[in-house]
Amino acid sequence: MNMKSSNSSRRDFLKQTTLVAGSLVTMPLISSAEFFHPSVDDTIKVALIGCGGRGTGAATQALLTKQNVKLVAMADAFRDRLDDCLKNLMSDETAELGDIKGKIKVTEETKFTGFDGYKRAIALADVVILTTPPGFRPIHFEEAVNQGKHIFMEKPVATDPAGIKRVLDAALIAKQKKLNVVVGLQRHYQNSYRELYNRLQDGMIGDIVSAQAWWNNDGVWVNMRKPGQTEMEYQMRNWYYFNWLCGDHINEQHIHNIDVINWFKGSYPVKAQGMGGREVRKGKEFGEIFDHHYVEFHYADGSILNSQCRHIKGTVSKVDEQIMGTKGSIYCGAMNITDRKGGILYQYDKTKENNPYQTEHDELFTAIAKGEYKFADAENGAKSTMTSILGRMATYSGQALEFDKMLNSGISLQPSRYAWDADMPVKPNADGFYPVAIPGVTKYLS
């Protein structure tokens, strides 16, 4: 999900957007005479908020849709990130994917930087793409909804319970305004997952009794501190390792797998307990997050999701989900369903797989162009994000925590203000190391 800086990695990522989308599952249609997008012609104007790797990819995918999409505004806290993003969008290798250069209408007057530039960018668009570090997602989503814009926002949608509450409140307003909202939990837009889900609904595996989910790999990039940076700038440049910005990798990455289980279950856990820590990544450059988490998520019907994620080099890599039922099991990575003895009940045809990152934009912009209200992903995105946050809080504390109590706890990790000289919620000690949660010592319940 995080694009690497090398040209080869970027090329590989962007080329994925050219995969042909397979047949789409019919979704419920809600029509309204009051629904429209406000451009004077058929142009759908887009603003990009957050110009890093994911923002570059999402903007590319929006511009590769079949609709008359124009990128008219960009906003980022850092001018160099904005300039790099625009340069990549205009590059020859991006042009290999399709004719998108002519769809980029960003001028110097529609480039916005700093902490408040997003408001001005949003005002210029019909559709807003939100791809900043997730700590900013609640305020950006709230603003886009208040301005009446359709929205694509990346996962996760917050990093703390207070942020989740803001997203849920704004999601209700988005529904009232009939604003299409797509969240980048792309498995919902992937053909194989949709087909596996349909067969679950048809009763092929019976009742779900347990599930497993994994996101285990080497980890991601690190941006080292540079001379002259304020603490705010350093943490934002190295955002993956600070919870107010990222929420730990159980939130930023593993949410995908956790969300798949919630989706297939049709519900969210009621409580969680687990363990985790920093076994390998102990350097000051890794901020405050853990390098491994294991969580038991308990659902109301008694079923349990065993969830694990790990960022440790040299260990087994696995990103997958497995769902066990009374009559069979779903293996998402293998794209199949087996009976209780291991016999294949269903195998998805892998040649029909699509690129879900592209499909989520294709479907969103098709709905907007037709004046249809079809997508309301924000509530699920918020509750699956809260599931990941609950897991982090359980591993950090070693306590058994209830979903509703944590959701309503009011806990916020955000700074009191967003400014380069702001007093930060977490600070390094004299040696440059940040405080790290200690299970059994860190408390979320009195």
pLDDT exceeds cutoff 50 at 75: yes
pLDDT-derived band of residue 18, with 50, 70 and 90 as boundaries?
Answer: very low
pTM: 0.91
- 192-353+385-407 has which CATH code? 3.30.360.10
**Paired residues of 217 in beta bridges:** 311
Compute φ and ψ for 151, nearest 5 degrees: -140, 135
**Paired residues of 142 in beta bridges:** none
The DSSP secondary structure of 130-172, one letter per residue, reads E-S-GGGHHHHHHHHHHTT-EEEEPSP--SSHHHHHHHHHHHH
CATH 3.40.50.720 residue spans of the chain? 7-187+357-377
Superfamily of domain 7-187+357-377: NAD(P)-binding Rossmann-like Domain (3.40.50.720)
Q: Is 334 exposed, middle or buried (0-12, 13-18, 19+ CB in 10 A)?
A: middle
Cα–Cα distance measured from residue 97 to residue 175, given in angstroms and rounded to the nearest whole number: 34
pLDDT exceeds cutoff 60 at 294: yes
Q: How many CB atoms lie within 10 A of CB 436?
A: 16
Query: Which DSSP state fits 310?
Result: E
Percent residues over pLDDT 70 in the chain: 91
pLDDT at position 6: 38
How many helical (H) and strand (E) elements, i.e. helices and strands, does the chain have? 14, 15
* Average confidence (pLDDT) over 164-177: 98
Phi-psi region of 349 (alpha: psi -120 to 50; beta: other; left: phi over 0): beta
Compare 34 and 117 and report the one with higher pLDDT. 117
Are the beta carbons of 136 and 150 closer than 8 angstroms?
A: no
pLDDT-derived band of residue 95, with 50, 70 and 90 as boundaries?
Answer: confident
